[in-house]
Every structure is written in structure tokens, then in C-alpha cells.
Structure 1
Amino acid sequence: MAEQTGPIESWVERQISAAIERGEFDNLPGEGKPIPGIDDPPDPLWWIKQKMKRENLSVVPPSLALRKEVEDALDAAYAARTEQQIWDLLEPINKKIRAAIRVAPVGPPLNLMPIDIDRVVRRWSERLR
């Protein structure tokens, strides 16, 4: 064991030794495996990156996030089963686009216009034929 330098270290070492004797460190997940990222270069933001990954967060500017949302909504619209589903998917997106046109979101220029839902419905119905 490491050299003990004071009463706190002694107490901590005793607690660890007692836990080892009770088997509390046996069969832990990852036992015998290398620690993930142990050989990676030091990164002062490692904890932020891990937190973002765990919480499924992203730092995409709102204007780019809206573009992606539009793209996903259009994909979902073309895969819809009914015309009503298309309208239900695209109307809320159009509201967001109109709001973003009035007050520009942070990030690169939006360069979006509201979706012509009638046109999407026509293309969708043509695919069904």
C-alpha cells in the first residue's frame, strides 16, 4: 500500500482495505479490460464531451438544426401512409420556418422558405401510382 501521511489517508486506506476484504471490488464491470481512453492525449474538455455524449446533446446552431429537421420531416412525409400524415408532419415545420424568417436564428443563414405542402402531396401521390 501507499505510504500513509496522516490520519485522513490512514482512514481512507482502512476503508479501502475493508472493502477489498468484503469483496466489494470483485466482478466489477470492465474488470480485466483496459480503461477506455487511457492512452488518448489529454483533453481539458473530456468531461464536457462525455456529458454531451451521455445526455445525447449537440452544439449544432439552431439554423442548421432547423434545416436538418426540415430534411427529416420531408423524408418522413414521403414515407407517410396518408395525405393527412403529410400535413400533420409539415405544418409544424412550416410554423418553425416562418418564425425563423421573422427572427433569424443563431448560426449560418437559414435560406429556407415554408414548404409547399400541396406540392409534396402531389409528388407523394405520384410515387404511389
Structure 2
Amino acid sequence: MTRRKPPKVSFRWWIDRQIGEARDRGEFDNLPGTGKPLPKPTGNDAATDWVLRQVRAGGHDTKAFLPPALALKREVQDLPARLAGERAERRVREVVEDLNERIRQAYLNHHSGPPLTVAPVDVEEAVEDWRRSRAAS
């Protein structure tokens, strides 16, 4: 555990001293990423960039960070690709109906964030598009 800062000593001096002692002990030697360039900034603050990199490195989806209105809009945009992986029409209908239910719930419960502008997806139209894409492949 770190010792307490002595009285009448500035925090800056105390922190600099702890860093210097750790460096002398070799605690900064061979850290992961040593010698590699820093990643390019994305315009976000450093903490946000770090979190996004960690989430992506872990193979997780960053869509979970979107506000509901934007996440649903993105999901509607990605729906054709999502449905292309389905093998059964029944499953295509289930996916679209689940999305539509979440859209309806978002309109009922929407309180903060950007305005919700996404409309429910026509199930029959989605199924027909899915059939056409399967016939084409």
C-alpha cells in the first residue's frame, strides 16, 4: 500500500518522488506496448478512446455505448446483413418482430438522448427482401 503524503509537502513533489522511486525499482520496465507508437486520436477524450480500444480488443460490440435512438437506427440499417445470415423464414420474422417491439418500447419509454426517428420495419417487406437475396445467391 502507498504511504501517506507527509504533511507540508506538495502533492506534485510527492507524486514525482513516487514515480521516480518506481522507475528506479524498474516497475516501468517491459510494460506492454513499450516502444510502440501511441494510437491516433479520434477526437474523443483520452478516456473514451481507451475504453473503445479495450472493448474492441476484447471482441465486443461498441454499439452498446450508443444511446437507444441511435442504436435502434443502426440496427435497422444493419438489418439486411443480419437477416442474410438466417436460414429459416420463421427466424427472419422473429428477428424483425423483436426489433419492432424494441422500437415500440423505445417510443413509449424514450426520455433522454437524441430524438427517436426510426420507424418499425415492415415484416413482409423484410421477408420478401430476404427471399430475393437468398435466390440471388
Matched, 1:108 2:122: no
Select the structure of larger CA radius of gyration.
1
User: Would the alpha carbon gap of residues 36 and 117 (structure 1) be closer, same or farther in structure 2, given more than 3 Å must change?
Assistant: same
User: Would the alpha carbon gap of residues 11 and 63 (structure 1) be closer, same or farther in structure 2, given more than 3 Å must change?
Assistant: closer
Match of 2:38 in 1: 36
Query: 1:1-129 maps to which residues of 2 (within 5 A)?
Result: 16-17=23-24, 19-20=25-26, 27-31=30-34, 33=35, 36=38, 45-55=45-55, 57=62, 60-104=66-110, 106-112=113-119, 114-129=120-135
Amino acid in structure 1 at the alignment position of 2:86: A
User: Would the alpha carbon gap of residues 36 and 92 (structure 1) be closer, same or farther in structure 2, given more than 3 Å must change?
Assistant: same
- Unpaired runs of at least 5, structure 2: 1-8, 57-61
Amino acid in structure 2 at the alignment position of 1:64: L
Please state how far the C-alpha of 1:123 moved relative to its aligned partner: 2.8
Question: Aligned equivalents of 2:19 and 2:93: distance in 1?
Answer: 63
User: Would the alpha carbon gap of residues 108 and 35 (structure 1) be closer, same or farther in structure 2, given more than 3 Å must change?
Assistant: same
- Unpaired runs of at least 5, structure 1: 1-5
Contact persistence 1:87–1:117 (CA under 8 A): yes
Size of the aligned set, in residue pairs, is 114
User: Would the alpha carbon gap of residues 55 and 125 (structure 1) be closer, same or farther in structure 2, given more than 3 Å must change?
Assistant: closer
Could you state the TM-score of these two structures normalised by the residue count of structure 1?
0.59
Question: Aligned equivalents of 1:127 and 1:34: distance in 2?
Answer: 44
Could you state the TM-score of these two structures normalised by the residue count of structure 2?
0.56
The percent of aligned pairs where both chains have the same amino acid is: 24
Contact persistence 1:94–1:115 (CA under 8 A): yes
Residue 118 of structure 1 aligns to a residue whose secondary structure is helix
